[in-house]
Amino acid sequence: MPILKPPTRFESLTDLNKKLPVTLFFHNDEPNPRTKDTTTRLTYPESYDDYITLEDKYKREYSKGLSGDKAEEAKEDINDFFLEFVRQGVVDLEEFTRLLKIELDKGYAIEVTVKGFASPLAKTDYNVNLTKRRISSLINYLYKYEDGVFAPYLDHKASNGGDLTFVQIPFGEYTANTLISDNVNDKKNSVYSRKAALERKIEIQSVSFAKQDTTYAEMVFNSQIHDFGDAKKGDTLTHTFTFRNTGEQKLIIEDVELECGCLSYELDKTELEPGEVGTIILTVDTKTLSGLSVRKLIVKANIENGKKEISITTEVKD
């Protein structure tokens, strides 16, 4: 991967947080096409290097059937996408990585939230797994960065107490623009258009210092998203989210906000001592839902940043 010098330097990871998301883009069905695996051995830079070699093909395919000014406009649209989004993502990632290491070397425990997205070309459950592979490629990049300087932090073995964890939220195609073609025979629009390409990405969306202030409890979920897959309208769907208080203070859950009337929940306890485990049983009534749906629940508690968000996804069919 070519190293591009960032145009600016941010003073700290806190300042970089204001610049998030860092957005990284992928070619269709990459990495590791035609598999339902949820992880990959590839790194994001390897995927990126393959992607930018396809820029001319994107221009040819997206301008196919056009002539004159219309063809040139289509090519320029793709050129702008690769310059302003794909290449800029690498610049942003390099700067993010530099500042992340500085903060970890200070001994901070850092939690990074990454969301993954896909265009709607493949089946919904396939796209959820695809976005998991894309997030996996980012973590692989950090493991291999500068001969493994992040490995002790990722493996929770750093001698200075620094620690790096990821909250992975693979949305797949659930948040994709519904106007984007999902026709496998229309690759000009479903693969090579700028609109489709903009959906194939992962976003580093937030960074928090997990143990910066010992006056807070810590609420760590096994997973903050659950995909129910296909459902019939009228089905009642239920999933149990498990969390642990990994902090040094008692965890006190103050409030729970539901995004819509289609959700209900059961919370087994509102106060948890350090090390204690709790559950939230989330129930979805699909009778008012249709098509691809993303719904969330927000837990407010005495944790840093004051809240945690959990999400469910499903595709409701009549």
Same domain, 247 and 144: no
DSSP state of 215: T
Q: Does the residue 123 lie in any domain?
A: yes
Domain end call among 175, 209, 243: 209
Same domain, 142 and 194: yes
Q: State the CATH number of the domain containing residue 286.
A: 2.60.40.10
Q: What per-residue confidence (pLDDT) applies to 13?
A: 67
Boundaries of domain holding 280: 219-317
Q: Does the residue 44 lie in any domain?
A: yes
Q: What per-residue confidence (pLDDT) applies to 8?
A: 45
Q: Does the residue 158 lie in any domain?
A: yes
Phi-psi region of 165 (alpha: psi -120 to 50; beta: other; left: phi over 0): beta
Same domain, 144 and 235: no
Q: What is the count of structural domains for the chain?
A: 2
Same domain, 192 and 230: no
CB 176 within 8 A of CB 199: yes
Same domain, 90 and 196: yes
Q: Does the residue 81 lie in any domain?
A: yes
Q: What per-residue confidence (pLDDT) applies to 165?
A: 92
Q: Does the residue 17 lie in any domain?
A: yes
Domain end call among 161, 184, 209: 209
Low-confidence ranges of the chain (pLDDT < 50): 2-9
Same domain, 49 and 186: yes
Q: Are strands 307-317 and 291-301 parallel, antiparallel or unpaired?
A: antiparallel
Same domain, 78 and 107: yes
Q: What per-residue confidence (pLDDT) applies to 9?
A: 43
Q: What per-residue confidence (pLDDT) applies to 190?
A: 87
Same domain, 71 and 140: yes
Q: Does the residue 28 lie in any domain?
A: yes
Q: What per-residue confidence (pLDDT) applies to 171?
A: 81
Same domain, 78 and 162: yes
pLDDT tens sequence across 213-260: 567 888 999 999 999 989 999 999 999 999 999 888 999 999 999 989
Q: Does the residue 142 lie in any domain?
A: yes
109 Cβ neighbours under 8 A, 6+ residues apart: 161, 162, 163, 164, 165, 209, 210, 211, 212
DSSP letters, 221-268, are ES-SEEEEEEEETT-EEEEEEEEEE-SSS-EEEEEEEESSTTEEEEES
Same domain, 52 and 81: yes
Q: What per-residue confidence (pLDDT) applies to 183?
A: 63
The predicted model scores a pTM of: 0.80
